[in-house]
Each structure stands twice: as C-alpha cells, then as structure tokens.
Structure 1
Amino acid sequence: MSMNRRNFLQMSAATVAAAAVQTELQAGVSAAFPVIDCHTHFYDPGRPQGVPWPGRDSSLYRTVLPADLRRLPQHLPVTGTIVVEASSWLEDNDWLLELAQRDPFIVGVVGNLNPESTDFGLQVRRLSANPLFRGIRISARQVGVLLEQGRSGVLGVLSDHDLALDVNGGPETPELLSRLAKHQPQLRMILNHLGNPAITRDPPPAAWASGIRAAAACGNVFCKVSALVEGAARDGGRAPEQLDFYRPYLDVVWDAFSDRRVIYGSNWPVCERAADYRVLQKLVADYATERGPDVQQQFFAGNSKAVWKWADRKPAASDKL
C-alpha cells in the first residue's frame, strides 16, 4: 500500500508525540525518588603516595571522582552514591571521608578495615564517629577465617555502632554469608555483586542458586545487584545488552531476597570495561519495573537506606570536586 505525504506526516507526528510522552514518563519516574548507586570507587593516583589499586597498567588507572560519575550519560539520573573503599591502606578511609565531607553527592562511605587486626575495634569506633562512615567491606576469605577460628564475634562492634557489613567473593560467598548471619543476627550484611557468578546462556549454577536462597533465608542479609555486566563479559569483550540474557540470574536473586532486600550498585568505574553506565542501569531498571510500580523506588533508594541508614544531603554546588 502506498503512503501519501499526509499519511506520512501524520505517522511522523504520532511517532514524535509518543517519544515525547515516553521521555516525560521517564523524567517523571526519575524525579519521583532518589537514585543511589551503592557501589562506586573513587581514587586519585596523582596523590603523592599514589594508590594501591588500580595498578599502573590498568585502564582504570586515572583520577576518578564524583564529578566524573555525574557527567556520565545515565538512564536514570543518579542523585547520590555510597562509595566503597578498595584500598587496603587505613588512611584511605579518612581520604574518602574527607572527599565525602566536601561533596554531598556521597551519602555514605563503606570502608576497608581488616577484622583480623588487633586494632580493628579501635578503628571502627574512631571512624564511626563520622556519620558518613556507614560500614566496611571484607572478603569471603576473611569471613571463612573468622568462622573457622570461631572469631566472628569481632564483627559485633559493627552492629554495636549501627554499621553494616559488605562481603565480596566468589560464587561460594552466599552460602558462607548464610553461616555468618546465624552467628551475627543483629548485623546487617550485604552480598556484593550477586556473589560473582559467571553469567552465561546456561541455567544458573545450582550451587550458587542454593547459596543465594540460603543467604536470603537470613532476614539480616541483603543482595547488591552490582557488577552484573562484568559477570557476563568474556575475554575482555563487551557484555550482552539484552535483559533476557540476565533474567534467569536476576529471577533467582529477586525471588529469594524479595523486592525489599535487593539494592542497586554499578561497580563503576570497573563496570565500564564491560558496558556503558547507561546500559547497565537500564537493564536493572527495566527488570525492577517489571516487578511492580513501587519496586524501582525500593531498589534504587529505599532498600539501601534501610541497610546503611544514609542521610539525605544537599546537592553539590560544583562539579569541580
């Protein structure tokens, strides 16, 4: 059937109008609630002492600050972030807190302390005097050591100061975290990066899925949907951009933890090696939207506030930080 000029113009106008409505809807959604990225890393290799991570040969070896994240194209505008300290240097916890003090875009800091050190409790008490210090992250290996030695009680100082514990490790981490949670039922815990499963077209590994369900059975454990695209990238390539590729893994996590215990995190800038920020953000935003009208708000802000109890802060006046 041929199309005359009038029909073409009518269809074009309808297309433009539909696009405008969709843009307005997206703008309305993004303005309706805060969007907190709960897993970012900031660092400055240009400091006199440098940084222990990332290494000089890494594509990530450059100054990365909040203004750099704010400038990224985003599916939903990020209104704040909880930054995770990847450096093992004790003084870098203070460096991040000083950065956060200057830039209210940072609503919380997850520090890096060694629970096996003799001054662990002292450092937790010192850092927790700053209300922006919201917890620490440790490795699954450290959790295993504490459990094996019967010393997981040292982590009680975190719950004593109303702080949370992030744990990062491989696919064995969810099951390990379920064991720790039974020893520390008062401590809010967050599984990082879904436990880092290798995301493929095959069904999710049974052992990982079983661990996820075991961790979720503990009401004090939450799951951070972070590093999603890194889990799907292979041999330095880019990750798939289709939601259906990730859906089986997201189904396992969401069905186990429910809408109230899943949290948004990007793992930026590490994630940029696998996908653009806008892409990874849209993947999880679309999935959350499918779960119901209120799920996005919980996923992008509400659940993280329940875990870290971050405080709303005034927007940064400048991107020169």
Structure 2
Amino acid sequence: MKSCTKQGDTVSRREFLTASAAGAAMSMRAQSPPIPIIDTHIHFFDTTRPQGVPYPAGKGVPGLPIAIPETFRKAVAQLGIVGAIEVEASPWVEDNLWVLEVAATDPIVVGTIGNLEPDKPEFHEYLGRYHKNRLFRGIRYGNLWNRSLVTAVEKPEFISGIKELAAADLTLDTANPRMDLLRAVIELTDKVPELRVVIDHLPGLDAPAEPAARRQFEATLRELANRKVYAKLSAVARRENGQLQTDPAFYKPRLDLLCDVFGEDRVVYGSDWPNSTGNWVPYATMLPIVQNYFNAKGRAAAEKYFWKNSIAAYRWIKRDPSQPDLNA
C-alpha cells in the first residue's frame, strides 16, 4: 500500500495531532459568531434647528446636515454595531438635554457623555439634573471650546467638581491629546484617584522621533496606564500624501505601542462618526483597520476592545437584546 508521505517524511503522532488541533481551531474561528461592537464615540447634531449648531463651524459635516440615531443606523448597517455612546460636541449646556431626548428615541444609544464645566457654580445643579437620566454617563473636558485641562487642574473648584463626578460613578472623557494634556490627566488622577478617565483619539498623537522625547512620551503613557485611564483607539485612519492608508501594517506600530502600554483591558473602540466619514473615509472602510488588528490578537482581546472594556469605562445601559452582557 502506498503512503501519502514520502519516505523519510513520516508525520509523527504529535505533529498530526498538532496540525489537527490547529485546523479545528481555524474551523471554530470561521464558525464563531461575529463580535458585537459598541462604538464609544459618535456625535449628534442638527443644523436645521432654529438655533443651528455651534459645531463644527455651524455647518455640521459635509454632506450630512443631520446626525442623529437614524442616520447613524444607516451608516453602520450590516457592520455589527449594536450600540453607541454619544460624546457631546456642543459647548451649549442646553444641548445636553437635546442629546438625551434624541438618544431616548433609539435603543442603539447606550449612553451619552455631556458637556459641563466642573469649575462653574452651577455644575452641581446641572450634574444632578442630567444624572437623573440613566443614559448620562459622564462629561467631556479638555483642550476643547477654548478650555484647558492643563490650567483647570490647578483650580480647587474644578477638582471639587471632578470629585463630585467621580462620586457619582461617572466618567471623564478628555481630548484632544497633546503631551501637556496627558500630564494634566496624571495630575488630575493624582488628586482624584478614583476618577475614571477616557482619553479620546489617542492614536492621533504622534510619538516623538527624537529618542529622549520618545522615552518621555512612553513613560508618560505608562504612568497613565497605572491609573483608571482608558485609551480610546478612535480616529485611527490616516492619510499620507493625501492618500488614505488602508494597509493594517501601516497602523500596527502605533497600535502596538498603545496596546502594549495600556494592556488589553484598557483600550476601547470609537469611530468619531460622523467626523470620520466627513473628513476621512466611509465607516465600512475604516472599521476593518482595527478589526484586522484586533482579530489577529484573538477573539478574547477583540471582544475586550470592541465591547467588554467599554462597560468598565462607561457603565453604559443595555437597551436592546442585541447588545452584549458580561453576565450572559
């Protein structure tokens, strides 16, 4: 009887079992259900309102005058997005209520991050008012709307407001990342160690090329990772010489650095829709960049990035059976 192997190439039992196990694993992966995705960074606005919008420049996003749950659903149809957290893009305090009312109309919205100023006398009143709505999951404060986290952390009244935020088990989102903002987050979490912080769009911050500055940059990231700080790997897509980069290898070094420093338990997914669509690329083209990267790490790591870690970061509210549950 002829053998299927050439003489001298006999396959050992161990090799056969190893190959069989690998094949079975590949088959299981192919048959595994898709990973549900919680997008932790989208924006709502409506330029057709009588008062318009203050952001961006009162014009919304090119080709999209209205960004609400309905338009978001259309943008992510068939992509596995089962929930989203709206991050406030308006400095108008009354828009906190507008967003909550819009969010209530569609269960795809599992939380909102509002806009309040912790150093203002009215902060306590507003926080108590909006926090009565379970979808209100925190506030955003950073280098936005002519504000500065760098100077704010030196104000006792700001720290008092942040302590109230943390005591309410709410989250602080901060952007846009610069080295001085990262150091301010370190100072803030020294003063309020129980505070959860999510740093938005962290892949958009370029690591310095100069060796000493690079070491300082990485040391700052490591110090942040020792606190209750989450890295939002959002706004990942980039252009080089005007060309959108879609090769996963282009993004690997940047994502490797952030994942290595923060670990697989402290990274969360966000798209920055509709800014990502208006400025960069359709959602369906952008999402595979991070899907390819995290799927290569295995299903457990991908699930943490795409939904599990967002529960720890935001305590978002499950509103639909399609949305995952840690206890399921």
Compute the TM-score of the two structures, normalised by the length of structure 2: 0.80
Question: In structure 2, how many angstroms separate the alpha carbons of the residues matched to 1:199 and 1:238?
Answer: 21
1:221 counterpart residue number: 229
2:149 aligned with 1:143: yes
Matched residue, 2:166: 159
In the other structure, the counterpart of 1:280 is 286
State the partner residue of 2:220.
Answer: 211
Name stretches of at least 5 consecutive residues in structure 1 with no aligned partner. 1-21, 317-321
CA deviation digits over 1:268-313, x for unaligned, max 9? 1111221221222111111112222201111111100111111211
Q: Is the 8 A contact 2:39 2:81 kept in 1?
A: yes
In terms of Rg, which structure is larger? Answer: 2
Alignment partners' CA distance in 1, 2:151 and 2:76:
41
**8 Å CA contact retained: 1:75, 1:279:** no
For the residue of structure 2 that corresponds to 1:287, the secondary structure is helix
Could you tell me which of 188, 195, 210 is aligned with 1:180? 188
Q: CA RMSD in A?
A: 2.8
Task: Return closer, same or farther for 1:66/1:170 CA change in 2, 3 Å cut-off.
Answer: same
Query: Does the alignment pair 1:291 with 2:300?
Result: no
Q: Which runs of 5+ in 2 are unaligned?
A: 1-25, 323-328
Quote the offset at 1:35 in angstroms.
0.9
> What is the rounded CA distance, in whole Å, between the counterparts of 2:134 and 2:50 in structure 1?
28
Write the deviation string for residues 26-58 of structure 1: whole angstroms up to 9, x where unpaired: 78442xx43100000011111111111122455
What are the superposed Cα offsets for residues 43-84 of structure 1, whole Å, 9 maximum, x if unpaired? Answer: 111111111112245526611112222222568410010000
Distance 2:137 2:274 in 1: 21
Q: Which of 128, 132, 137 in structure 1 is aligned with 2:131?
A: 128
Residue identity matched to 2:53: V
TM-score normalised by length of structure 1: 0.81
Q: Does residue 1:249 correspond to 2:251, yes or no?
A: no
Matched-pair contact (CA < 8 Å) for 2:41–2:87: yes
Cα shift at 1:142: 3.0
Q: What letter matches 2:164 in structure 1?
A: V
Q: Which residue of 2 aligns with 1:261?
A: 266
Aligned residue identity for 1:296: A
CA deviation string 1:162-216 (max 9, x = no partner): 110001023213232122111111111101101631489999x714433322211
Query: How many aligned positions are there?
Result: 288
Match of 2:204 among 196, 199, 202: 196
| 1:297 alignment partner AA | E
Find the partner of 1:109 among 106, 109, 112. Answer: 112
Contact kept in structure 2, 1:143 and 1:152, CA below 8 Å: no
Contact 1:168/1:195 (<8 A) preserved: no
3-state SS in 1 of match to 2:91 = coil
